Structure 1
């Protein structure tokens, strides 16, 4: 945006510049709406056979949308500053409905009870309520468990409550910290070295090797649950299978290699089945057919999958039908 010194002096040229700027804003807003519609359409198509290509298209479109929306936000602030350069920036944003399940924290602003004009007592007239979405940053804290002892003066018996059970005994890691590490690593794709860097900014030293050991311990603790989930999925008479490439950080050279994430879905709700749907994931370092053959070794029924050749051997004995 040109500064005041760069603007022309004649009104006609200024009007032309203004018309050009308004046209640019309208075009940008139209492009944003077009991208939103296209993204929504692709998301509805996401579960088709070409989901990997759709993922890439979605990523590209969402990046374009972010860039346009960022430019729109910067332009909003510049216009607000131009209207009232001496006051704070006030940008009129689209009204959005905030989720009703979130807790509300009221901050009440009361006017003075005495009229500043005549000194009379003021009476309540009403109120205006505005809401903004806030996020309270997660904080580290130390939870101290204090187990007090009691002694009987008559018989000398000493009583003390037992220590509450912990996922990892004699560890400094509270269950909440372990859950945050696992969710950050596997759901938000934040590797452990970045998590330790985030903690270091708050003055907390988390050793990367220690956090990695915690992850392994938690994985083993969750194994009965994942085994039960796998058994439930494979007990179905029909399952859906697919795989997707995922980048895996190769140790040592700071590069990535391509691994595979296999997904097996049990879901017959559209057939009026009342049994709950479930998904079981399995990782492999490559896409060899031995992996789905191992995963489905005990399965019998209908397998809905693509034409990947690695499934072919599964259909030979007739226990699994395409």
Structure 2
């Protein structure tokens, strides 16, 4: 240890200098950490933007694109939070020293002004009564600076008392009273807005009723699970006539997307693997005027009898995967007529992509199977077809068909010839051979899009309609019964159809529940989402 001076003043000066050097080093280190965190946050932000732009320009590059974006958003969230922590730590460190400049915190995203429709509460800070410089009380107002802070008021509850006065006739002594107003549910005591929120939270946001009941209890409102379940059942019963109209509209289409997903259903003390089926009518790819709709059904299994029952009286073009149950619809003797089956190229592409997924193989390490060059070539050829589809999306059916015959059919002929040549050289046990056989044995159904401009290359419309269920299963685990699954299917039909028509599902549900009890049956179509949206816009225009 070096010799230390005996003079106290000298020791104090040395200690102060050492503390300054330590503070300076701490501040420099904090600044360096902020720079590193800023770079990390910037990289996460740019990576996310690049992936979003690629998806907009080129469509989904793989079946995992949506999940990839979710992961990138989580990484960006973590990076931004870490950057904020480091900036605050750097500010504290810089405050201890006079030589390190105060850190200028980075602005996040250029905050936009708060919406004009939000109510403003003006809080005026007491003005100074004297000059801070000379003490004079002769002050004159020059202006004001306004700082806006967004605050949230917890959900407000109130009880609406509907008073119906009674009158008695002084001549005949009979009592007169106006009739009671209609309520969304018989003997109900919950308003339409609250009922809509309960329904949307359960079926749109996948929040079970027991969690909703707990949330309400924390706000001082006693709405037990049994009460909420009773009201849900009553609302489903009230909405059933409107659901039947939606179902009739869906089954009047000439082309449908069909798909299904698993739903665990509680049955006799155990769960069975049930199914939720969806049939989507979406004519937007070829500019059709019919509004988009989605119809859901629930079943305890995946036997062919289920879609046969759903599509018993329907005939037309069915876009789906190669599920064998759909094949029975194509028989020539079927009544009212055989279906035309158009298979999904996204399903076929997935089988090749799994064998050519370079990123996934890299994560597997040394034991990863080699990348299949044939599968990679097949993916490239299929992607070329999807590129053409992106160019003609939204065009009339006739123009789509003409473009396909000019641009897609030569690619299809080359793709088929290449697959048959390569397939002849492969063992029937090879994975890529199985992927080729999946297409070659059904080639007519895969190439049907070259005979009708209304047909899409993929079945993504149906898969998007089922995505929420796949995510929601983690919240509600299983359906309590087959009837519970049927109620879920009915409400999914209503909510998804409203979503497809770009309207606020909860607002629409509240208005429907408020009006459906006393609206004549002949005017029920007014409440269908696409009609409701038009009427709402007209009312807003008149009010303006």
Q: What's the CA shift for 1:93?
A: 3.7
Q: What's the CA shift for 1:267?
A: 2.1
In structure 1, the partner of 2:415 is none
In structure 1, the partner of 2:260 is 243
| Structure 2 gap segments, 5+ residues each | 1-18, 97-104, 343-544
The answer to whether the 8 Å contact 1:80/1:91 transfers is no
Cα distance, 1:12–1:213 mapped onto 2, change above 3 Å: closer
Distance in structure 2 (CA, Å) of the matches to 1:119 and 1:168: 66
Q: Does 1:206 align with 2:223?
A: yes
User: 1:1-322 counterparts in 2 under 5 A?
Assistant: 9=21, 14=26, 17-18=29-30, 20-37=32-49, 40-41=52-53, 44=56, 53-82=64-93, 92-98=107-113, 100=115, 102-109=117-124, 112=127, 116=131, 117-120=135-138, 122-125=140-143, 127-245=144-262, 248=264, 259-317=274-332, 319-321=338-340, 322=342
User: Deviation string for 1:79-127 (max 9, x for gaps)?
Assistant: 4555669xxxx985432225646423242536638664532352443x4
Number of matched pairs: 308
Distance in structure 2 (CA, Å) of the matches to 1:129 and 1:295: 61
Tell me whether 198-207 or 278-287 shows the greater mean CA deviation: 278-287
Cα distance, 1:283–1:20 mapped onto 2, change above 3 Å: farther
Distance in structure 1 (CA, Å) of the matches to 2:267 and 2:95: 55
Instruction: Provide the alpha-carbon RMSD of the alignment.
Output: 3.7
Cα distance, 1:148–1:79 mapped onto 2, change above 3 Å: farther
The answer to whether the 8 Å contact 1:42/1:54 transfers is no
In structure 2, the partner of 1:3 is none
Tell me whether 37-46 or 214-223 shows the greater mean CA deviation: 37-46
| Structure 1 gap segments, 5+ residues each | 1-6
Q: What's the CA shift for 1:129?
A: 4.2
User: Deviation string for 1:54-98 (max 9, x for gaps)?
Assistant: 44434433333333333234334434555669xxxx985432225
Distance in structure 2 (CA, Å) of the matches to 1:24 and 1:265: 48
Q: What's the CA shift for 1:160?
A: 1.6
The answer to whether the 8 Å contact 1:98/1:133 transfers is no
Distance in structure 2 (CA, Å) of the matches to 1:267 and 1:231: 15
User: Larger relative CO (CA 8 A, sep 6+): 1 or 2?
Assistant: 2
Cα distance, 1:135–1:10 mapped onto 2, change above 3 Å: closer
User: Deviation string for 1:228-257 (max 9, x for gaps)?
Assistant: 1111011111122233445x585899x987
Distance in structure 2 (CA, Å) of the matches to 1:109 and 1:251: 63
Q: What's the CA shift for 1:222?
A: 0.9
Quick check: which one's helix share is greater?
Answer: 2
Asked which structure has the greater CA Rg, the reply is 2
Secondary structure of 1:222's counterpart equals helix
Q: With structure 1 as the length reference, what TM-score do the two structures score?
A: 0.77
The answer to whether the 8 Å contact 2:34/2:87 transfers is no
Quick check: which one's strand share is greater?
Answer: 1
Cα distance, 1:83–1:205 mapped onto 2, change above 3 Å: farther
